Amino acid sequence: MTDTPTAGTWSAPGRVNLIGEHTDYNDGFVLPFAIEFRTAVALQTRTDGRIRVTSSFSSDAAEVAVSDLAALFPDRRDEVPEWARYPLGVAWALLEATGVDVASVPGVDLSFSSDVPVGAGLSSSAAIEGATASALNDVWGLGLDRVSLAKVGCRAENEAVGAPTGIMDQMASMLSRADAATFLDCRSLQTESVDLGFAGAGLELLVIDTKVTHAHSTGGYRERRASCEQGAAIMGVPALRDITVDDLTRARELMDDVTFRRVRHVVTENQRVLDTVETLRSAGPRAIGQLLDASHASMRDDFEISVPELDLAVDTARAAGAIGARMTGGGFGGAAIALIDHSLVASVTAAVERAFADAGYATPHIFTVHPSEGARRDA
Ligand code: GLA
C-alpha cells in the first residue's frame, strides 16, 4: 500500500432516455444521453484501510474496512444507510471484478455532492455509481475501461442495493458525449454516438418531473421484468431482443393477453429505437415526434407503467405544441420529456403547470436539459 496521500474530484452525470424503455434488460436497444446535472465525489486517501462515505444529500455517513466489504454485500447490506449502498456497493463490485488484493489498496474518504434530482427517473443512482467507479478505478490503479466500470455500477445496483435494473443508465453516465445520444446495443454493449442536433434545429428538450416518486427495488419494475422473461421463454428465445414485430402474431396465440402486451411493448420499442436513430440521421430531430408519442402510448397501454400525472404532462405538452413527448425512465412516476421549439419553453411550461394545478396534482418541476459529457476526473 502506498502512503502517498491522493486527493481529487471526479463526477458523473444523470441521464435522460430519449427512447428505448424497458428494453435494456431484454438485450435490446436504447438511446439515452447524459445531462448537465452531475454527482461529484471528492476523494482523499487514508492510511488505515477504511472507506468512509458522506454526502450533501443525506446526514447519514457510513464507514467500513475495505477488507469487510466482501462480508457486507449482499447479505448484510441493511447495516449501512440506503444511499451508502451505492458507493460502497461499487467499491465491493470493483474488488470482486478485479480480484485485487484488498491489502494493496488505500482506504478512502469519499464526499459526495449532487444536483441530479432524486426520484425523477434521471438516474441519480447511476451518477453516484459512475463517479465512485471512476474515482476508485484511478486511485486504486485498477485499469478498467468505461464499459467495465458501467458493468460494475450495474452489479452494485443489482446485488448491493437489490434493484433489478438493466445497464442503460450506467452506460449512459459512463460513455455519453456532449451534443449526442448514446445508441447502445445492450447485448453486445457496443455504443455509437448519434448526433441529436437539437440546438441547430432550434429545439429544446423539456423535462417535466411530476414529483411522483418511484422505487425500482420493489414492485412493478421487478414484475415487468419477470413478464418479459416469461414471454421470451414461451417464444423459445434467450431474450425478447430475438423477436421481431413479424413474430407478434404468433406470440399472441401462445400467451395470455397481459404477457403478450408486455412483449409487444418491448418488441415495438426496440424497433422504435432503431427507427429513431435512422430518422435522426436521415431527417433530423424534428422528424422523431411520432416515435416519441408512440413510445408513450405503448408504455401507457401495453406495458402499463405510466401514471395519470405522466399522461397529463405528455398530453398537455403535446397540445401546447410539443413535437413529441413521452415518459422517460422506469415508470410508475418520475419524469416526462417533451421535444419543443425553443420559443415554446415558457408557454409549454405554463400550460403543464396550469393543467397540474387544475387536476390538484403537486407542482411539477420543469426544466430544459442538454446532451452532456459522461464521467470524468475534474480535479
Ligand atoms: C430504469 C433502469 C434502467 C431501465 C429503465 C427503463 O431507469 O435503471 O436499467 O430498465 O428503468 O428503460
pLDDT tens for residues 205-242? 999 999 998 766 568 999 999 999 999 999 999 999 99
What is the Cα Rg of the chain in Å? 21
Q: Give me the chain's average pLDDT, please.
A: 96
Closest residue by Cα to atom 11, ligand 1, is 330
Chain mean position to CA 203: 23
3-state secondary structure 236-258: CCCCHHHCCHHHHHHHHHHCCHH
Report whether residue 117 contacts ligand 1, using a CB cutoff of 6 Å. Answer: no
CA–CA separation, 195 vs 201, rounded Å? 12
| Cα 325 from Cα 315, distance rounded (Å) | 8
Structure confidence at residue 77 (pLDDT): 96
Q: How far apart are CA 226 and CA 42, in angstroms?
A: 38
Question: Does residue 169 have its Cβ closer than 6 Å to ligand 1?
Answer: yes
CATH class of 7-194: alpha beta
Q: Which residues are catalytic?
A: 169
Residues 6 or more apart in contact with residue 365 via CB below 8 angstroms: 117, 120, 208, 209, 211
The answer to whether the CB of 25 is under 6 A from ligand 1 is yes
pLDDT for the residue 213: 86
Question: Pairing mode, if any, of strands 365-369 and 203-209?
Answer: antiparallel
Q: Using the mean position of ligand 1's atoms as its centre, give its distance from the Cα of residue 342 in Å.
A: 28
Instruction: Please name the residue whose Cα sits nearest to atom 1 of ligand 1.
Output: 330
Residue 324's DSSP bridge partners are 339
Taking only the tens place, the pLDDT of each residue in 75-85 is 999 999 999 99
Instruction: Read off the pLDDT of residues 153-194 as tens digits, 9 standing for 90 and up.
Output: 999 999 999 999 999 999 999 999 999 999 999 999 999 999
Euclidean distance between CA atoms 237 and 227, whole angstroms: 14
Task: Tell me: pLDDT of 97 over 70.
Answer: yes
| Residue ranges of the chain assigned to CATH 3.30.70.890 | 198-369
Nearest CA to ligand 1 atom 2: 165
Q: What percent of the chain has pLDDT over 90?
A: 95
Which residue spans of the chain are classified as CATH 3.30.230.10? Answer: 7-194
Residue 283 has pLDDT above 60, yes or no: yes
198-369 is classed CATH 3.30.930.10:
no
